[in-house]
């Protein structure tokens, strides 16, 4: 059994979904591990990870609108606002999604469905530099 690790750095442009599939697939292929389990871990409390539709951009738009409606920026609704009015809603959106993904690897590639992409979901309005730890274990 072998292991490989790396850190991806993702520059965001503010709120929204940033597809990172290509970077993850390329790194997995370069690892030389043909089958195993890939874990991705987002090292932030105001950004998260999703596997989601990657063909129709409307899916991403609808997801962003939905999360804005269930965790709105409303200063009167939250006590925590250390970094501004989008701070607590960003934490709520992260709590409702996930910071870790596990993806099987077969034939040297993550086993994603035809229309699945891997996304970093930035929940803050300002651009950020986000890091995602990748860990692959297998043969």
pLDDT per residue as tens digits for the range 32-64: 999 999 999 999 999 999 999 999 999 999 999
pTM, two decimal places: 0.96
Q: Give Cα separations from 69 to 63, 65, 74, 92, 129 (angstroms).
A: 10, 6, 11, 12, 25
Residue 42 to residue 99: CA distance in whole angstroms: 5
Query: Residue 131 forms beta bridges with which residues?
Result: 9
Residues of the chain with pLDDT under 50: none
Name all domains of the chain by residue range, CATH numbers in brackets. Answer: 2-138 (2.60.120.460)
Spatial neighbors of 45 by CB under 8 A, at least 6 apart, are 90, 91, 94
pLDDT at 58: 97
In the chain, % of residues over pLDDT 70: 100
Strands (E), the chain: 2-11, 16-19, 36-42, 47-53, 100-106, 109-110, 116-122, 129-138
Helix, strand, or coil (residue 20): coil
At 35 the pLDDT is 98
């Amino acid at each position: 059994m072998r292991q490989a690790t790396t850190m991806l750095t993702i520059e965001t442009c503010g709120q929204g979904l940033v597809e990172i599939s290509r970077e993850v697939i390329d790194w997995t292929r370069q690892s030389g591990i043909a089958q195993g389990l890939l874990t991705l871990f987002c090292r932030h409390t105001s950004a998260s990870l999703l596997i989601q539709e990657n063909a129709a951009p409307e899916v991403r738009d609808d997801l962003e609108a939905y999360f804005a409606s269930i965790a709105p920026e409303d200063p009167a609704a939250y006590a925590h606002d250390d970094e501004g009015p989008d701070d607590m809603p960003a934490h709520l959106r992260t709590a409702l999604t996930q910071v870790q993904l596990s993806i099987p690897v077969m034939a040297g590639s993550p086993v994603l469905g035809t229309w699945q992409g891997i996304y970093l979901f930035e929940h803050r309005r300002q651009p950020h530099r986000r890091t995602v730890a990748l860990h692959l274990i297998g043969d």
